[in-house]
Structure 1
Amino acid sequence: MPITGECFCGSIKYKVEGTIRDARSCHCSRCRKAFSSQASSYALVKPSDFVWMKGEELLTSYESQPGYGLRFCSRCGSTLCGTYKGSVHGITLGCLNGNPEIEVGYHIYVGSKASWEVIPEGVKAYIEGPPQND
């Protein structure tokens, strides 16, 4: 059964015909601003498994650094996915429908988290990005 997701207003819908993996929350200042939240929660996906089902023409893109970007709904502003060199490489967990059967495995860039945020004890957290061998 494919994993599906959509924006807040429902104008844009997608499906993932494979698995999503490596779910994490990023607490860096850039993600806080991009997602208007204390962190971004997302999971990686194979670009070949990702399909826009409806509303692709309503997407707005923003390249935050060379090769890396985000795609948003131009109507409601929902951040739907992250891109790498123009292809979808990650999806936001908040826009998923149903139970994607994945949990956030770790938190990254907690060293630059907002001063008002409290990271729960016992979660796997890294001051910056995760170690390459993790």
Structure 2
Amino acid sequence: MSHAYRGGCFCGAVQVEVEGKPEAMGYCHCESCRHWSAGPVNAFTLWKPDAVRITRGQEELESYQKTSASRRRWCRRCGGHVLTEHPGMGLVDVYAALLPDLTFEPALHVHYQESVLRIPDGLPKMKDVPAELGGSGETLEE
């Protein structure tokens, strides 16, 4: 039996549950994630869509799709960010901060060439994303 992790938006109106193990965890440095999160970097956990369930507040979710690469979802009551769907990759990013019981074990940095906050932690620094997710697979110097 796999483990389920639960979290929610800022006010708690929207609740999300993920089950099993994420496909990947890491940090995104792209301008879109930085702008969306209002921070210098975004900590992500990527899951297969069937591992993610909205358990409460589906009707409170709003969405915005700036590009075909992602659809960002948030709570209309509090504005709290919940997840980003990445249809081209077949994955859903449930923000690491929303899953307090999940041990966050980042494995890489993506879109590091756009970084405004260098993080010398020994993890691979990808120019964009790994080749298996449609990127170049190119790594950069720390």
- Aligned position for 2:94: 91
Moved over 6 A (4+): none
Shift of 1:127: 3.0
- Aligned position for 2:30: 28
Q: How does 1:50-129 map to 2 (within 5 A)?
A: 50-66=52-68, 68-85=70-87, 89-98=92-101, 100-114=102-116, 117-129=117-129
Extract unaligned runs of 5+ from structure 2: none
Shift of 1:84: 3.5
Shift of 1:19: 2.0
- Aligned position for 1:2: 4
Instruction: Give a deviation string over 1:63-82, Cα, whole Å, max 9, x none.
Output: 12125211011122222111
Kindly indicate whether the alpha-carbon contact (under 8 Å) linking 1:73 and 1:80 is maintained by their aligned counterparts in 2: yes
Q: Identical aligned pairs, as a percentage?
A: 25
Q: Give, in whole Å, the separation in 1 of the partners of 2:104 and 2:32.
A: 24
Instruction: Give a deviation string over 1:35-82, Cα, whole Å, max 9, x none.
Output: 111111112112112111111111110112125211011122222111
Q: What secondary structure sits across from 1:20 in the alignment?
A: coil
Q: Which has the higher contact order (CA 8 A, sep 6+)?
A: 1
Q: What secondary structure sits across from 1:69 in the alignment?
A: strand
TM-score, with length taken from structure 2? 0.79
Kindly indicate whether the alpha-carbon contact (under 8 Å) linking 2:96 and 2:104 is maintained by their aligned counterparts in 1: no
Q: Which amino acid aligns with 1:79?
A: H
TM-score, with length taken from structure 1? 0.84
Q: Give, in whole Å, the separation in 2 of the partners of 1:121 and 1:16.
A: 27
Extract unaligned runs of 5+ from structure 1: none
Q: How has the CA–CA distance of structure 1 residues 97 and 47 changed in structure 2, closer, same or farther, with 3 Å as cutoff?
A: same
Q: How has the CA–CA distance of structure 1 residues 106 and 58 changed in structure 2, closer, same or farther, with 3 Å as cutoff?
A: same
Q: How has the CA–CA distance of structure 1 residues 49 and 122 changed in structure 2, closer, same or farther, with 3 Å as cutoff?
A: closer
CA RMSD of aligned residues (A): 2.2
